[in-house]
Chain A
Amino acid sequence: MYNLDEKDIIKTLKIDARALGIPSGAAEVFIQKSVKAALNSLQKKSIITDLDVKKAVTKELKKYHADLAYVFENRDKIV
């Protein structure tokens, strides 16, 4: 379950990026960009669910790192 808080999403993504072996400097840059872009794209919606946030962040992350986007999207589908 993902918290809607931007800081929590960024923290979770940084942990995922480190686990996947992505250099921390590059990861920080594209994670910040992706999360900000995703949350901006959702501002027009009146009701925002966890799933909307997840889909938007995954869509932005896919532009930078496919594996990180895959892990973020599917982590709750392992068990």
Chain B
Amino acid sequence: MAFLQLAPGIFALLNHYALGKFSKNKANDLRLFFILGAFLTSTLFFLAIYYLVSVFSFGDLISDNYTSSLCFGIIFIVLAMFCLFFYYHRGKNSRLFISRSLARALDHNAYSISSRTDAMRLGLFSTSCEFLLTIPLYVITSICLIKIESSGFPIGLLMISFLLVPILPLIFISWQYRSSYTLADILKNRIKNKPLIRIVLCFSFFLIAALIFFSGVKNV
């Protein structure tokens, strides 16, 4: 989740426009509320999925049933292939899989932000745009946390650490802007790191798929 690029990209644009239009204090405010919006979205989604996983006992469904673990593993393999081939557009850019009209709308929103509410709303929306990639990760994490909790280990700290992961890239970009990096530097880094991010995302999903298959095969 820390390697997903839509929210950090929109955040970089928001920072750039805010520094160009407003004072540093107001730009800091907008930055903070964007991060808050992103954090709230990921927290609410995760807690909802955690609740659903605990109510419907997804963990037992996957680990006790070979067919369901196979299906779930295939979902992760499909996501790995998606990240490898379709996450980024081709060419010397860091354009993502979203439609060009949505990308332009997000850019326009970042440009016309003037209040904290707008910044929070944009953080909320840009985080939810990649929800399809984060749902399976939240499900797997919920299953693992429920299993750890059932063994008596306190999971509060683990849960908080997991919830901070989606906002780590935003904090990093915020630090970059404070250290006098510009949008040009950030964009050049995004393009340079494009192959690495593709490989890391693909490898992570493959690893999770392998672990799911392994836990399913044990019960055959």
Chain B residues near A14: list those with CB within 8 A. Answer: 20
Whether, in the assembled complex, A26 has its beta carbon less than 8 Å from a beta carbon of chain B, the answer is no
Whether, in the assembled complex, B132 has its beta carbon less than 8 Å from a beta carbon of chain A, the answer is no
Chain B 130-159: CB-based contact to A (< 8 A → 1; otherwise 0): 000000000000000000000000000000
Interface size class of B (residues with CB under 8 A): 20 to 34
CB–CB B187/A76 < 8 A? no
Chain B 157-185: CB-based contact to A (< 8 A → 1; otherwise 0): 00000000000000000000000101110
CB–CB B184/A76 < 8 A? no
**Alpha-carbon gap, A78 to B183, bound state (A):** 10
Query: A-side binding surface: helix, strand, loop or mixed?
Result: helix
- Sample (25) of A-B pairs whose CB atoms are under 8 Å apart: A14-B20, A16-B16, A17-B20, A18-B20, A19-B16, A19-B17, A19-B19, A19-B182, A20-B183, A20-B184, A21-B180, A70-B184, A70-B187, A71-B183, A71-B187, A75-B107, A77-B95, A78-B13, A78-B94, A78-B187, A79-B13, A79-B94, A79-B103, A79-B106, A79-B107
The 4 closest A-B pairs by CB, nearest first: A77-B93, A15-B20, A19-B20, A79-B9
**Alpha-carbon gap, A15 to B96, bound state (A):** 25
Query: B-side binding surface: helix, strand, loop or mixed?
Result: helix
* Cβ contact of A79, chosen from B16, B98, B184, cutoff 8 A: B98
A residues with a Cβ closer than 8 A to B are: 1, 14-21, 67, 70-71, 74-79
Kindly provide the distance from the CB of A74 to the nearest chain B CB, expressed in whole angstroms: 6
Whether, in the assembled complex, B26 has its beta carbon less than 8 Å from a beta carbon of chain A, the answer is no
CB–CB B10/A79 < 8 A? yes
**Alpha-carbon gap, A15 to B17, bound state (A):** 7
**Alpha-carbon gap, A15 to B22, bound state (A):** 9
Kindly provide the distance from the CB of A10 to the nearest chain B CB, expressed in whole angstroms: 13
Chain B residues near A78: list those with CB within 8 A. Answer: 9, 12-13, 94-95, 107, 183, 187, 190
**Alpha-carbon gap, A74 to B5, bound state (A):** 16
Kindly provide the distance from the CB of B19 to the nearest chain A CB, expressed in whole angstroms: 4
Kindly provide the distance from the CB of A65 to the nearest chain B CB, expressed in whole angstroms: 10
Chain B residues near A18: list those with CB within 8 A. Answer: 19-21
Known pairs A20-B183, A21-B180, A67-B184; A76 contacts B104 (CB<8 A): yes
Chain A residues near B17: list those with CB within 8 A. Answer: 15, 19
Whether, in the assembled complex, B212 has its beta carbon less than 8 Å from a beta carbon of chain A, the answer is no
Known pairs A20-B183, A67-B182; A77 contacts B20 (CB<8 A): no
Closest residue of chain A to B190 (Cβ to Cβ) is A78
Kindly provide the distance from the CB of A3 to the nearest chain B CB, expressed in whole angstroms: 11
Closest residue of chain B to A77 (Cβ to Cβ) is B93
Kindly provide the distance from the CB of A70 to the nearest chain B CB, expressed in whole angstroms: 5
